[in-house]
Amino acid sequence: MSDLKADTQRIRECSRALQRIYDAFTSRANPAEDYTAAELGNQQVVDAFQEFADNWKIHRQDLAERIRTLGTITWEAAKSYDEIDTKLADALRGQDAKAKNGGGGPR
C-alpha cells in the first residue's frame, strides 16, 4: 500500500486562488499606461513608461495563461484523486463483502 495522501480540499482551494489571480491579471488595466509628459515631466520618462507598459502587457498575458493552466491542473488533480479514492474504497468494500460471504479471493 502506498502512503500517498492528498488533501483534495486544499488542492481545490489552491485552484480557486489561482483563478482569482488569473481574473485579476486579465481584468485590470496596466498601471503604466496613458501618462503624458505633462504628468511625468519628461518625454523620456513617458517613453520608458510606455515601454514598460508594452512589455508588461505581453508578459502579463503569458503569466496569466500559465496561472490559468496551473489552476486547471490542480482542479483536475483533486478531481482525479477523489475519483481514484472512491473507486479504491468501492473495490475494498466489495472484497470485504465477498470475504464475509465466504467467497474469499485466491489462496
**CB-CB contact of 46 with 35 (8 Å):** yes
Please tell me the predicted confidence (pLDDT) of residue 7: 92
User: Is 20 part of any domain?
Assistant: yes
Task: Give the count of domains, the chain.
Answer: 1
- Those residues whose C-beta lies under 8 Å from the C-beta of residue 33, and which sit 6 or more positions away, are 49, 50, 53
Containing structural domain, residue 23: 14-73
User: Is 62 part of any domain?
Assistant: yes
**CB-CB contact of 36 with 46 (8 Å):** yes
Please tell me the predicted confidence (pLDDT) of residue 104: 55
User: Is 47 part of any domain?
Assistant: yes
User: Is 29 part of any domain?
Assistant: yes
User: Is 37 part of any domain?
Assistant: yes
Containing H/E element for 98?
A: helix 43-100
User: Is 48 part of any domain?
Assistant: yes
User: Is 85 part of any domain?
Assistant: no
Instruction: Return the closest-CA partner of residue 14 out of 76, 85, 64.
Output: 76
pTM for the full model? Answer: 0.68
How wide is the angle at C-alpha 60 spanned by C-alphas 56 and 66, nearest 5°? 150
pLDDT (tens, 9 = 90+) of the chain, 107 residues, equals 567 788 999 999 999 999 999 998 888 777 677 777 788 888 888 888 888 888 888 888 899 999 999 999 999 999 999 999 999 999 999 999 999 987 655 55
User: Is 98 part of any domain?
Assistant: no
